Copies of this chain bind each other. A is one copy, B any other.
Amino acid sequence: MAKLKNDTLIRALLRQPTEYTPVWLMRQAGRYLPEYNQTRSRAGSFLGLCKNPGYATEVTLQPLARFELDAAILFSDILTVPDAMGLGLYFAEGEGPKFERPLRDEWAIRDLAVPDPGAELRYVLDAVSEIRRALGGSVPLIGFAGSPYTLACYMVEGGASDDFRTVKTMLYARPDLLHRILEVTAQSVTHYLNAQIEAGAQAVMIFDTWGGNLSHAAYREFSLAYMQRIIAGLKREHAGARIPAVVFTKGCGNWLEDIAAIGCDAVGLDWSVDIAQARARIGSRVALQGNLDPAVLFAPPEVVQREAEKILAAFGHGSGHVFNLGHGISQFTPAEAVKNLVDCVHRSSLRYHGGSADSRAS
């Protein structure tokens, strides 16, 4: 594998000095890019994109061709794991993800087994390898997975939900069943992320989209505890390089100290958190990733710059900040706004670091 030319992201995640603040965007390969929609239409469907390593590589690289992003992130979906567990993932038009066989039955839950990523998720690992080759060491590749609780939400509800009534009824009425699902899913995610690391992922991120819908105590027991197990089971070094791990819970503000204590290198922040306060609370232990409101990208260029600069200033001097949105980029975002944002972060962050613009390797 080629040596990494721009390792700014890795250094920032490990709170080592960098010349500027690195930036990437959650869901940076996506529907706001016309070239993505073209590839998707050739692939026939979203799942067709995910399951074909050639297409997955193509769309992963698309935003990097347009913007000076400091990382690529594997194009995939968090629900590939429950799909590999046999739940039958499909996408109903205009309705989001669904499972043919949601987990409601006690026997199905008892029978749930950890998939072999090298078999059932081979297509993802192939995509990781192919993307690494295609990147040629330009920027690092981030691998990812969903948190066990977030996956369980979809697995038990059978799709997206407004109120998570089914999974929460299980949580309160039959916590043993939910713990069983979470246990198997945590093992599955651990194996899966380790397989991504072996295939070439240079950092990994756990997306806990729904953990914030839990009560304060239930979050720790049903979401955080299982992310902690995953982190404890990850290969943290591969091919001589340290592999940073990022944990992102939407609605994280109530649990920042708890999240920072599970052994991750960095904590992803949604936009409701003040990053200055977050740094004061946990910045001595972990790096912070975030946290621009994705809706800022609908505003004129000067507003995008002003809001980005506010976040850079709020984090302040020194390393340990990876600029990102507080959630995935909207499909309605104008691509020029992304270019403006990325360039602004690179330019405006120089003053918070030791180096100058010329030292940027990207």
A232 interface residue per 8 A CB criterion: no
Smallest CB-CB separation from A296: which chain B residue? Answer: B172
Bound CA–CA A165/B253 (angstroms) = 23
A94 → chain B, closest Cβ, in Å?
A: 12
Contact with B along A273-314 (1 / 0, CB 8 A): 110010000000000000001011011100100010010000
Beyond A165-B330, A310-B217, A330-B163, is A172–B295 a contact (Cβ under 8 Å)?
A: yes
Q: Is B295 a contact of A219 with CB atoms below 8 Å?
A: no
Once the chains bind, are A298 and B253 in contact (CB under 8 Å)?
A: no
Number of interface residues of A (CB under 8 A): 36
Q: What's the least CB distance linking A353 to chain B, in Å?
A: 24
Check A218–B251 contact: CB distance below 8 A.
Answer: no
**How far, in angstroms, from A2 to B205 measured CA to CA in the complex?**
61
Residues of chain B lying within 8 A (CB to CB) of residue A46: none
- Given the known inter-chain contacts A216-B271, A310-B217, please indicate yes or no for A171 contacting B253, CB distance below 8 A: no
Q: Which residues on B sit within 8 Å (CB–CB) of A254? A: 253-254, 272-274
Q: Quick one: which of A197-250 are within 8 Å of B by CB?
A: 212-219
CA gap between A277 and B330 in the complex, in Å: 34
Q: Does A92 contact B (CB under 8 A)?
A: no
A219-B272, A254-B274, A273-B254 as given contacts; A298 in contact with B214, CB under 8 Å: no
CA distance A169 to B213 in the complex (A): 26
- A274 vs B212: C-alpha distance when bound (angstroms): 13
Q: Does A67 contact B (CB under 8 A)?
A: no
Q: Which residue of the partner chain B has the closest CB to A327?
A: B163
Within 8 Å by CB of A298, from B168, B295, B298, B307, lies B168
Q: Chain B's nearest CB lies how many Å from the CB of A176?
A: 13
Residues of B within 8 A of A273 (CB): 216, 254
**A352–B326 CA distance with the chains assembled, in angstroms:** 41
Asked if A164 CB lies within 8 Å of chain B CBs, one says yes
Q: Is A332 an interface residue (CB 8 A)?
A: yes
Min Cβ gap A297→B in Å is 9
Chain B residue, CB-CB nearest to A166: B298
B168 touches A293 (CB 8 A): yes
A169 to B217, CA, bound (A): 35
Q: Is A173 an interface residue (CB 8 A)?
A: yes
- Known contacts A215-B326, A253-B254; 9 additional CB pairs below 8 A are A164-B295, A165-B332, A168-B295, A172-B293, A172-B296, A214-B272, A216-B271, A216-B273, A219-B272
A interface list, Cβ under 8 A from B: 163-165, 168-169, 171-173, 212-219, 251, 253-254, 271-274, 277, 293, 295-296, 298-300, 303, 307, 310, 326, 330, 332
Which 5 A-B pairs give the minimum distances between C-beta atoms? A168-B295, A172-B299, A216-B274, A169-B298, A253-B254
List 21 interface pairs A-B (beta carbons < 8 Å), by A numbering. A163-B330, A164-B295, A165-B295, A165-B330, A169-B299, A172-B298, A172-B299, A172-B307, A173-B303, A214-B293, A215-B272, A216-B272, A216-B273, A216-B274, A217-B274, A218-B293, A251-B272, A253-B253, A253-B254, A254-B254, A254-B272
